[in-house]
């Protein structure tokens, strides 16, 4: 790799993590996001081979992953697998991505910015999908605070915003190339090509710029219209969210977690005046199973047992807890396989479990490992990795029906942990009848602001896509309530004990949003366009070779 190309890639690898939520800019920086990828695109344009492009992609993927996801080093004792595995994976993914970007950047100048944006948006869709899906670090996230700009994701999903942000970055790269590198033939910048826009002759780079400006103006216009639309609400839910700021994973952590949760719940109810309709504790607030473990919580913790406490408070409790399933026995061994789900459990005022939801999308190779039931696979991970057991995944999208104190009911879905970052999963909850969403999360192990806010920023787009209130109850942050336009209504400071009492409006929606109804059609259209481009490019190459 040439020195100037390496410096460009290094610059982009620093800018991109700075644009995303980080310790310096907790909610990201939209201004840096507008040009954070531009040096990468320029480096690819100045590269003269696929081999060099692949190296550029590997360097960019590895560095951005390390700088963005460094907090994975705190994931228990598995940091070598979490941070190391993620870094290696993104080096490989971005190597493949760079090959497509290199092909796009060498194409005709009138199409180049749009092909780059398409490639990037399709890449982000693929990296956010499936068992290995990880929807962190999307180019759309830096503009999460620009509320008018994010409203149109209720049409395209977040992928439309990824396309526009990548397009802005590619246009900026194109302008720089045009003005500073046009004399170099390998950049393929041609000053003699003109297009007619509004009967005015303009060069390709400026015709693309004009189109992009018009597109952004349309996005902002749509956003301002949506923000001013008054969606009526038909009922209200009084919720008490508790943030204990202690990790139940630690030694004696469950006991400490329960006692702090009980203390904060008592204070919240006393100061709230009237009883809440529901009290929410975060993911894995309980480490012993709430179902399948007898009446353990009738007497635990001994200072203030949980189930008697729930009965005294006489309200519904939504708590993160394991669900113990029937054990399975190996064919070769009489030793049973302990099977449990990472779940959300709804207790009624009598302390009985009404319903539960089991997490369906696991953290790959941490919560779920392929072929775990194969003895040698299980033994390998236990002996060499240190993973003793994995969660069993839930199989259904549970919709909870909560009776309110005024006689009505509210239907809600409960994505667990990073499930609220997955667009298709949240969309399925909403299509199943969820009037609002309650996410229970435990990110306290990360010990960093950036981890908490990266998760929060990813989650807030689900509110806008589906026009539903999202309630987040977390161990250490961000415990908050997000309205259907992506605005933070109220929250608890990060890494602080506290509670949040709020009367949440349940909005009356006559129909689903376009995105809720049709899902991820937009990246699929982009994939078709990209496929047609590759076919045409291959046909053109074959024709030139034959001539």
Residues tagged active-site: 283, 359, 417
Compute CA distances 255 → 176, 284, 311, 316, 441, whole Å.
Answer: 59, 12, 19, 21, 18
Residue pair 373/361 in contact by the 8 Å Cβ criterion? no
Residue pair 278/402 in contact by the 8 Å Cβ criterion? yes
Residue 282, both tokens: 């975060």
> Which one, of 321, 282, 366, 358, lies nearest residue 72 by Cα?
366
Residue 366, both tokens: 């941490």
Residue pair 439/459 in contact by the 8 Å Cβ criterion? yes
CA 161 to chain centroid:
14
* Cα 453 to Cα 421: distance, rounded to the nearest angstrom: 12
- Strands 233-243 and 200-202, bridge-based pairing: unpaired
- Strands 316-324 and 328-329, bridge-based pairing: unpaired
Sign of torsion, CA 403 408 411 414? negative
- The end-to-end CA distance of the chain, in Å, is 33
């Amino acid at each position: 790799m040439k020195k100037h190309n390496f410096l460009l890639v290094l610059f982009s690898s620093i800018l991109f993590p700075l644009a995303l939520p980080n310790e310096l800019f907790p909610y990201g920086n939209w201004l840096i996001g507008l040009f954070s990828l531009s040096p990468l695109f320029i480096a690819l344009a100045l590269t003269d081979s696929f081999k060099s492009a692949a190296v550029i992609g590997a360097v960019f993927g590895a560095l951005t992953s390390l700088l963005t996801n460094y907090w994975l080093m705190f994931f228990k004792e598995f940091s070598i697998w979490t941070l190391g595995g993620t870094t290696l994976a993104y080096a490989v993914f971005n190597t493949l991505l760079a090959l497509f970007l290199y092909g796009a950047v060498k194409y005709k100048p009138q199409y180049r910015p749009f092909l780059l944006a398409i490639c990037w948006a399709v890449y982000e869709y693929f990296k956010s999908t499936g068992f290995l899906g990880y929807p962190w670090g999307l180019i759309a996230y830096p503009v999460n605070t620009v509320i008018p700009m994010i409203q149109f994701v209720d049409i395209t999903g977040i992928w439309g915003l990824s396309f526009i942000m990548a397009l802005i970055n590619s246009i900026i790269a194109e302008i720089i190339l045009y003005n500073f590198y046009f004399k170099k033939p390998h950049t393929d910048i041609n000053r003699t090509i003109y297009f007619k826009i509004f009967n005015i002759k303009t060069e390709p780079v400026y015709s693309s710029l004009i189109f992009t400006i018009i597109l952004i103006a349309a996005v902002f216009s749509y956003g301002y219209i949506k923000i001013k639309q008054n969606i009526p609400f038909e009922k209200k839910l009084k919720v008490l969210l508790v943030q204990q700021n202690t990790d139940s994973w630690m030694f004696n952590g469950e006991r400490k977690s329960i006692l702090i949760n009980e203390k904060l719940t008592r204070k919240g109810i006393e100061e709230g005046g009237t009883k809440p309709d529901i009290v929410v504790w975060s993911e894995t607030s309980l480490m012993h199973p709430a179902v399948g473990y007898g009446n353990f919580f009738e007497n635990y913790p001994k200072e203030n047992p949980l189930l008697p406490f729930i009965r005294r408070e006489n309200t519904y409790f939504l708590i993160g807890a394991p669900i113990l399933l029937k054990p399975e026995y190996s064919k070769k061994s009489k030793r049973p396989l302990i099977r449990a789900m990472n779940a959300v459990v709804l207790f009624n005022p009598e302390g009985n479990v009404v319903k539960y939801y089991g997490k369906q999308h696991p953290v790959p190779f941490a919560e779920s490992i392929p072929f775990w039931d194969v003895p040698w696979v299980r033994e390998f991970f236990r002996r060499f990795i240190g993973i003793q057991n994995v969660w069993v995944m839930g199989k259904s999208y549970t919709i909870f029906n909560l009776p309110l104190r005024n006689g009505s009911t509210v239907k809600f879905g409960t994505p667990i942990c990073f499930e609220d970052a997955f667009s298709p999963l949240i969309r399925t909850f909403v299509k199943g009848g969820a009037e609002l969403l309650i996410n229970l999360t435990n990110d306290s192990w990360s010990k960093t602001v950036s981890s908490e806010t990266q998760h929060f920023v990813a989650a807030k787009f689900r509110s806008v896509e589906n026009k539903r209130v999202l309630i987040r109850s977390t161990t250490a942050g961000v415990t908050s309530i997000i309205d259907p336009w992506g605005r933070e209504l109220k929250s608890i400071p990060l890494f602080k004990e506290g509670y949040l009492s709020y009367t949440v409006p349940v909005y009356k929606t006559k129909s689903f949003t376009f995105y809720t109804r049709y899902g991820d059609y937009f990246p699929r259209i982009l994939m078709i366009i990209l496929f047609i481009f590759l076919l045409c490019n291959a046909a053109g190459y074959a024709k030139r070779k034959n001539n």
